Amino acid sequence: MHFTLPDRHALPEAIEPLRDLVLEVMQRANVAACDARQTIERLELQLVALRRAVFGARSERSIGQGDLFTQTTVLPLPPEAMQRVSYERARAGRPALPADLARARIEYELDETERAEFVRLDRIGAQVSQTLEFTPARLTVIEHARLTYRCVRADGSSTVRTASAQTSPLPKSSAGPGLLAHLLVSKYADGLPLARQERMFARHGVKLSRKTMCDWVLLACELLARLRDPLHQHILGAPVVFGDDTTLRLIVQGSSPATMTARLWGYIAAGSVRDEDGLWQAYPKAALYEFTRDRAGEHPGRFLARYRGYLQADDYAGYHALYRSRRVLHAACWAHARRKFFEIDRAAATPGLAREALNWIGRLYEIEREIRGEPPDIRAAVRGERTRPLLRTFRQWLIGIERDLLPKGPMAIAVRYVLSNWRALTRFSRVGILEADSNLVERGMRTIALGRKNWLYAGAERGGHAAATALSLIETCKLHGVDPYAYLKDVLARIGSQRLDRLAELLPFNWAPAAR
């Protein structure tokens, strides 16, 4: 705020008007100072966030250990009486190699000089050591010979018949299901763009152009898109759905190609349900991604139009229409709330209110770690006994400090976020099938972030939809410990002949490899 001081000669001679003018100037100065402090705090927070984004670690596990090194540390004095403690140090060594790996044995004999020293040699054992070896991938050309027969009928007539075979999942293509699965896993699970895969295949003596591989990837994903509807139906039946979204650059075709910011929405089914005997069973986890050109709220509204249950997500305004319908209940994410205090604490020179807020939230997570893996009934009981009283005290603390904070300062914004979302943030304390945060879906978005740094963008909307399909199946495989390559290779070979009413059998959590 800027204001002009009055000229000395224009000041009033009387005392009372002069006092009023001084008070007015002081009030304006206080307002300007308050605005300046808020602006400085906001800019300092942005500067720390920028430095951490460029130079620092992305993890939020610590509460700013690097910032603690500037403080004075008091080292405790050793006790007067020292007690000698003896212990056996655990022997460190290389981890054991997996027992299920293929093994080959090489036996080494004494050389001729050593054998010539003795009259008789009796073998009494062997000293075995292991090394891990790698055999590079190998490309194989499979010749599909469809045998032809001259067939003679009982009446003497004859005809020619040739055996049928499905040589490739794609029409008029030379790509086998194993090669297609390798392309999809390499690009969407390992973040290897087709340009790098082109060089890798060249080292094996095969020239595959990026255009050809791009066509194969698109066609394979469009074939696998038949599984999207049964996967969608499975997610709509989940007691809890985790939701999140992230950006994806999309090339816009026109007179001069440009890019726009599109979105990939992620939905993960989770939670627990009771079986016929009344016992809690985990609902099969599944991930489904959706590609859209923008971030309009109509997209989650359409995707979850027939869903009834809990949506665990951040406070994105596009979800609010679902919450107003009363059929979708919002369970907010404590990780998002914690992140706001974490950024403030990183920017602070000394521990302050943000550090205290982090300590409060840390106590919530300590309880969650203790009850992780327990049935929902036990989790709800423990949360009712320990978590809810802690939350009530935390809320009173937040209300108490809010009145003394700068209204537009970062700390006030963080506190208001928690208080305004309090009902959604505390819903997990009353419902045992809910989690304290939406980290499950955020972990599912990391694969997209990895790929985004490598293949950079989607060349067209068709590519965005293809990426959403491939990522959905690969992430669902990861949620169930299924090898995505083995899964995609088998499903690509079978999906063309699979009945439409039995497509759900090919979803990763129902999948059983075809007998060979």
Q: What is the 3-state secondary structure (H, E, C) of 307-358?
A: CCEEEECCCCHHHHHHHHCCCEEEECCHHHHHHHHHHHHHHCCCCCHHHHHH
Among 268, 271, 296, 301, smallest CA distance to 283 is for 271
- Residue 423 located in a structural domain: no
Does the residue 347 lie in any domain? no
Question: Which of the listed ranges 167-176, 398-407, 499-508 does the model predict with the highest average pLDDT?
Answer: 499-508
Residue 501 lies in a domain: yes
Q: Report the distance separating Cα 188 and Cα 190, nearest Å.
A: 6
pLDDT digits (tens, 9 = 90+) for 289-319: 999 999 999 999 999 999 999 999 999 999 9
Chain segment 159-170, per-residue pLDDT in tens: 999 998 878 899
**Run of H or E including 289:** strand 286-292
Residue at 88: amino acid letter: E
Q: Is residue 40 part of a domain?
A: no
For 91: left if phi > 0, alpha if psi spans -120 to 50, otherwise beta; the answer is beta
Q: What is the pLDDT of residue 131?
A: 85
Residue 20 lies in a domain: no
Between the alpha carbon of residue 45 and those of residues 73, 190, 233, 362, 388, the distances in Å are 25, 34, 43, 22, 31
Q: Residue 40 above 90 pLDDT?
A: no
d(CA 103, CA 132): 9
Question: Is 104 a member of any domain?
Answer: no
Domains identified in the chain, total number? 1
Instruction: List, in sequence order, every beta strand (DSSP E) within 12-121.
Output: none
Strand bridging mode 309-312 / 328-331: parallel
Q: Which domain holds residue 256?
A: 176-270+278-295+460-516
pTM of the predicted model as reported, rounded to 2 decimal places: 0.80
Which pLDDT score, from 0 to 100, does residue 70 have? 40
Cα separation, 373 vs 44, whole angstroms: 41
> Bridge partners of 289?
266
d(CA 214, CA 292) in angstroms, rounded, equals: 20
Q: Which among 161, 172, 162, 167 has a CA at the least distance from the CA of 143?
A: 167
pLDDT reported for residue 239:
97
With 60 as the cut, is the pLDDT of residue 85 above it? no
Is residue 231 within 8 A of residue 288, CB to CB? The reply is yes
Residue range 217-239, pLDDT digits in tens: 999 999 999 999 999 999 999 99
Three-state DSSP class for residue 270:
strand
Q: What 3-state class would DSSP assign to 250?
A: strand
* pLDDT above 60 (res 84): no
256 domain-assigned? yes
CA–CA distance, 502 with 230 (Å, rounded to integer): 9
Q: Residues 110-153: pLDDT tens digits?
A: 899 988 988 888 889 888 888 888 887 788 888 989 899 999 99
- What's the rounded Cα separation, in Å, for the pair 174 and 397? 67
